[in-house]
Amino acid sequence: MKKIMLFFFVTASATELCAQQKTYNIISFGAKGDGRTLNTSFIQKAIDKATAAGGGKVIVPKGRFVTGTIRLKNGVNLVLQKDAVLLGSTNRLDYGKEIAGNLITTTDQKKVSITGYGEIDGQGREVVKSLFKLLHQGVLKDAQWKIKRPGERNRPGVIAFTGCMDVLVKGITVKNSAGWVQDYRNCSNVVIDSVTVNSTEYWNNDGIDIVNSQNVSITNCYVDAADDGICLKSEGGPGYCENIYVANCTLRSSASAFKLGTGSRGGFRNIVVKNLVVFDTYRSAIALEAVDGGFLENVDIQQVKAVNTGNAIFIRLGHRNTDSLYSTIKKIRIADVQVQVPAGKPDIGYPVEGPPHKFPHNVFPSSIVGLPGHEVEDVELKNIVITYEGGGAKEKAYFGWDSLPNVPENASGYPEFSMFGELPAWALYVRHAKGITLQNVQLKLQQPDYRPACIFDDVTALQLTELNIPVCNTLPVLILNKVKEHTFSKLTLPVEEDKAIVFINR
């Protein structure tokens, strides 16, 4: 696969916001940083004054400023100075009644930014307590709260930009959201740099969500979130994600670290990801999911180091949508990746953990899985090292490789690495795929496992070059079922190839 080249047109106007000369200190408009006064109207007045003057800096000085929903406007740079804290009100009604607004929101604006070295604390846990009280009193209504938890429409996130152009968010720390921490939807020319996210207060609080947006750069960020770390989505209306650059980020998640999907109605194109560090992550270090009829293509991911992570790589083409449109996945390159996969739960002890599996299982392999007649196409895995703790035992869960047709298709299931139940391979499971290349891939096993290392089922054009599996406690090592057009070169297996490899239905 040719290297994917992206050309970003993030204009200089976003960064120029920091150079705006005129300033508007919120204290001059009546705000008090005492941690008690509700400052929503005072902060909004400063924003309105700045935009009316053609733009400028709205200064949040040292102090703890409580606020409900505020709305950024054209040309405004909200600057959080050192030791400044914007505290989300703990009264759910301060975000609206019918649908919860976000703490900082803006729609259809240009040249808007949030910068500085201060904090935004959504106080999500306390907001949800207020929400429950209001639901019990009948002041608010929610169809889900008695069954599972209050719906996302009733829980305020922290930052939400919709339909905006020339966006800059830099330097700040964002904490404790009751919903998505950051939501950039239908935006263009977005720069997110050196942002810290610490949000493990409640469910569904992805660290950074990019939805149907183009020309986005996410760099030098640290994310610790109870849900996905950095997640690109295509949902909620026409649109797609295109020209996205993610680099030099550290991610911890009780879901997946870097993900495309689950929402995938429009699609994803031209995505470059470089130099990620992942730790203590419940699901996948890398998850690429197209399940709602959209496209996923031209993705280049490289230089990822993950430790204590439940799954290394998960690529899924599904059919969750109810119409006849099928998703497509093609032209994926994942290179220079090292992942350590434990046998236990990687996020145990965090305030919000990933949900326990409802069935007994051994360590899950990486997987690349399409559907019959709708293959995942043109995937290259290069310079990969995945170390599995192993310990797979028939007494815990058993699925023999001689029962491959019984692995469920689960076409409409929620896409995640455990969606097929126990899988009959410990390292890599590939099904319904075309044009799969493994080059210089090493798969390590630390404790014995009853399963073969890799299974390729219904695969066309399989190329294995320098595949290294030094240990496998059962034979065969590789199983190829209904594989057409395969090429092997320089394999390093624990036994001779004629004993290590079994072909079925050639």
Domains and CATH numbers, the chain: 12-504 (2.160.20.10)
| Strand, coil or helix: 242 | strand
- The C-alpha torsion from 54 through 117 and 258 to 213, rounded to 10°, is 0
Q: In the prediction, which pLDDT does 7 show?
A: 42
Are 428 and 367 in contact by the 8 Å Cβ rule? The answer is yes
Tokens of 56: 């400028």
| Residue 144 clears pLDDT 70, i.e. is over it | yes
What pTM value is reported for the model? Answer: 0.95
> CB count, 10 Å around CB of 492?
10
Residue pLDDT, tens place only, 236-274: 888 999 999 999 999 999 999 999 999 999 999 999 999
Residue pLDDT, tens place only, 44-101: 999 999 999 999 999 999 999 999 999 999 999 999 999 999 999 999 999 999 899 9
| Residue 324 clears pLDDT 90, i.e. is over it | yes
Residue in 245, 303, 333 with CA at minimum distance from that of residue 6: 245
3-state secondary structure 359-399: CCCCCCCEEEECECCECEEEEEEEEEEEEEEECCCCCCCCC
> What separation in angstroms does the CA of 68 have from each of 3, 128, 244, 453?
46, 14, 31, 53
Total residues found in the chain within this entry: 506
Q: In the prediction, which pLDDT does 4 show?
A: 47
Residues 6+ apart with CB under 8 A from 325: 293
How far, in Å, CA of 314 to CA of 146, rounded? 33
How far, in Å, CA of 384 to CA of 388, rounded? 13
| Residue 302 clears pLDDT 70, i.e. is over it | yes
| Residue 14 clears pLDDT 70, i.e. is over it | no
How far, in Å, CA of 334 to CA of 285, rounded? 12
How far, in Å, CA of 244 to CA of 90, rounded? 35
Confidence of residue 21 (pLDDT cuts 50, 70, 90): low
> What separation in angstroms does the CA of 268 have from each of 244, 306, 371, 432, 434?
9, 24, 19, 21, 19
Residue pLDDT, tens place only, 477-495: 999 999 999 999 999 999 9
Residue pLDDT, tens place only, 410-425: 999 999 999 999 999 9
| Residue 402 clears pLDDT 80, i.e. is over it | yes
Tokens of 14: 């976003």
| Residue 11 clears pLDDT 50, i.e. is over it | no
Q: In the prediction, which pLDDT does 2 show?
A: 45
Are 234 and 188 in contact by the 8 Å Cβ rule? The answer is no
What is the pLDDT averaged over residues 320-326?
96
| Residue 6 clears pLDDT 70, i.e. is over it | no
How far, in Å, CA of 65 to CA of 189, rounded? 30
Please identify which residue in the block is written with the tokens 């740079």: 77
Counting Cα atoms < 13 Å in the Cβ hemisphere of 469 gives 27
**Percentage with pLDDT > 90 across the chain:** 92
What is the pLDDT averaged over residues 216-241?
96
Residue in 235, 183, 232, 228 with CA at minimum distance from that of residue 206: 228
How far, in Å, CA of 237 to CA of 500, rounded? 49
> What is the CA 216 to chain-centroid distance, rounded?
15
What is the pLDDT averaged over residues 207-212?
98
Q: In the prediction, which pLDDT does 19 show?
A: 52
Average pLDDT, the chain: 95
Instruction: Quote the DSSP letter at residue 132.
Output: H
Residue pLDDT, tens place only, 167-184: 999 999 999 999 999 999
Residue pLDDT, tens place only, 457-475: 999 999 999 999 999 999 9
